[in-house]
Structure 1
Amino acid sequence: MASQSRHISERIDRQAADVYGYTSDPAHLPAWAPGLGDSVEHEDGRWYVRTPAGRAGFAFAERNDFGVLDHDVTLPSGEVVHIPMRVIPDGDACEVVFTLRRLPGMSDDDLTRDAGLVQADLARLKHILEAGG
């Protein structure tokens, strides 16, 4: 059975390359995505985020010219969650699209809460980048 997804987006008035460059650097995660983790560590070539549930691994797709920011989060349990994300050029601006998938056992309320958290993260990203970050 296919999982349910929600596509959450935010238009950012910056060049797509600038948005991709900032967003693809895991060191910036705590600034724009504190819901994922409040700090990051780079150890032995891998990135980790400190989450309320413990230390989680984090890896973006390899740098690319297509704005693909897909990433895998390895939860403290060892479960890997794949998250599709894109920066889509639109003239002198762009749109960032995050695909939120319903995980097994996730309630409607949990999905709605997570969608709100992602929207807040994308709004924070917009604010940072439009302010010159």
Structure 2
Amino acid sequence: MPTESRHVTEHIDRPARVVYEYAADPANLAHWAPGLGGSVRQEEGRWFVDVPGGGGTAEVVFTGRNDLGVLDHEVHLPGGRIVHIPFRVVADGENAEVVFTVRRAPGMTDDEFDRDAAAVATDLAALKRILES
């Protein structure tokens, strides 16, 4: 059965390569994506975040560096569930647009789906603020 998705976007007045390089560095996640986790750490080449609300630790696995602006990643949640997250940086003239796909998890209510999308929008707005300052 297809999964419902919502694309959350933000235009950033910086070159796509600059946006990509910043967003591709997992060490920067805590600055612009606290919805994923406020604490980001690297252990033996792997990246971990503390799940908000005391939910434990999740591993974040990123796609390899590339020239296409692809920042897809997986979040390996406590309990074994894996969330696949498509995320792109797309050139828009001399600037960039970031596109983050929010997928509805099984059993997720409309309100929960709306909250997830709103949290992503807040994170992308923070990314914009950081990169444009």
Instruction: Provide the TM-score with structure 2 as the length reference.
Output: 0.97
Amino acid at match of 2:5: S
SS of residue in 1 equivalent to 2:88: strand
In the other structure, the counterpart of 2:48 is: 48
Q: How does 1:55-94 map to 2 (within 5 A)?
A: 55-94=57-96
Quote the Cα distance in structure 2 between the aligned partners of 1:14 and 1:60: 23
In the other structure, the counterpart of 2:9 is: 9
Structure 2: gaps spanning 5 or more residues? none
Instruction: Provide the TM-score with structure 1 as the length reference.
Output: 0.97
In the other structure, the counterpart of 2:24 is: 24
In the other structure, the counterpart of 2:116 is: 114
Quote the Cα distance in structure 1 between the aligned partners of 2:132 and 2:73: 24
Q: CA deviation at 1:119?
A: 0.3
SS of residue in 1 equivalent to 2:112: helix
Amino acid at match of 1:49: V
Q: Which runs of 4+ in 1 moved over 4 A?
A: none
Quote the Cα distance in structure 2 between the aligned partners of 1:60 and 1:129: 21
Superimposed CA distance per residue, residues 66-122 of structure 1 (whole angstroms, 9 cap, x where no aligned partner): 000000000011111100000000111010000000010100000001110000000
SS of residue in 2 equivalent to 1:6: strand
Quote the Cα distance in structure 2 between the aligned partners of 1:83 and 1:8: 12
Residues paired across the two proteins, number: 131
Amino acid at match of 1:43: E
118, 125, 128: which is aligned to 1:126?
128
Quote the Cα distance in structure 1 between the aligned partners of 2:118 and 2:81: 23
Q: CA deviation at 1:41?
A: 1.1
